[in-house]
A = this chain, B = another copy of it.
């Protein structure tokens, strides 16, 4: 009597199902009423489509910034994985508050730009934890602006875009202290005509990557000194990473 081929040797079907869990970075409506979402997961970024999502049972879970568990189904050759089931694992309703909403957008837009699809490298889990923590901070911390600033610099560094703070970005001189109006890094006094940054701002820029999130949060730069930091960040991202549409709306709330 012959037994069938054992299960492990059986060919995988053309289609693959997978479970993923992540935070919704963006969502697009297609004209047909489908929903395309981009998520950050511990295994990297994922884009998937929920058919009929705008009127379907997934619309609730697949909201911006929601942490969702997905069952996706991808056939080789399909451009996008199809979402079969979606369940909410966590929501931060306070991100809709006017003083917090724009920062959540900035962080999600940055994350969407910084991480590529299918890149499941060793930093995946770290990136996911950092981003999820950033959203939690923006939702609940009394100073969401500071959370956004710290976490933006942290995300940039993790994605391989650390700012140079030890040498002038133009001439290479040591100990630069002035903002670079074009590249967003630091310039020496000879290369820049702008006023030097405040000591606490300089300390922040030089330490943000190396220090823990907690340490950074505990030593905020005074609110009135943050404008040059935001400006530097915007320039740096614009030059190194790409266009971020949230900038003009950051201080609208």
Q: Residues of A at under 8 Å CB distance from B?
A: 52, 55-57
Can you identify 5 A-B contacts, CB atoms within 8 angstroms? A52-B52, A52-B56, A55-B56, A55-B57, A56-B56
- Copies of this chain, how many? 2
Residues of B within 8 A of A56 (CB): 52, 55-56
Residues of B within 8 A of A57 (CB): 55
Closest to A54 in B: B57
SS class of chain A's interface: helix, strand, loop or mixed? Answer: loop
State how many angstroms separate the Cβ of A55 from the closest Cβ of chain B.
5
State how many angstroms separate the Cβ of A192 from the closest Cβ of chain B.
59
Closest to A55 in B: B57
CA distance A52 to B51 in the complex (A): 12
CA distance A55 to B85 in the complex (A): 13
CA distance A148 to B139 in the complex (A): 58
Q: Nearest 5 pairs between A and B by C-beta?
A: A55-B57, A55-B56, A56-B56, A52-B52, A52-B56
Closest to A58 in B: B55
CA distance A57 to B56 in the complex (A): 8
CA distance A56 to B55 in the complex (A): 6
Closest to A57 in B: B55
Residues of B within 8 A of A55 (CB): 56-57
CA distance A57 to B57 in the complex (A): 10
State how many angstroms separate the Cβ of A88 from the closest Cβ of chain B.
16
Residues of B within 8 A of A52 (CB): 52, 56
State how many angstroms separate the Cβ of A51 from the closest Cβ of chain B.
10
State how many angstroms separate the Cβ of A197 from the closest Cβ of chain B.
55
CA distance A161 to B56 in the complex (A): 45
CA distance A58 to B56 in the complex (A): 11
CA distance A55 to B56 in the complex (A): 6
State how many angstroms separate the Cβ of A60 from the closest Cβ of chain B.
11
State how many angstroms separate the Cβ of A32 from the closest Cβ of chain B.
13
CA distance A237 to B67 in the complex (A): 57
State how many angstroms separate the Cβ of A29 from the closest Cβ of chain B.
15
State how many angstroms separate the Cβ of A123 from the closest Cβ of chain B.
38
State how many angstroms separate the Cβ of A35 from the closest Cβ of chain B.
14
State how many angstroms separate the Cβ of A1 from the closest Cβ of chain B.
37
State how many angstroms separate the Cβ of A62 from the closest Cβ of chain B.
14
CA distance A52 to B56 in the complex (A): 9
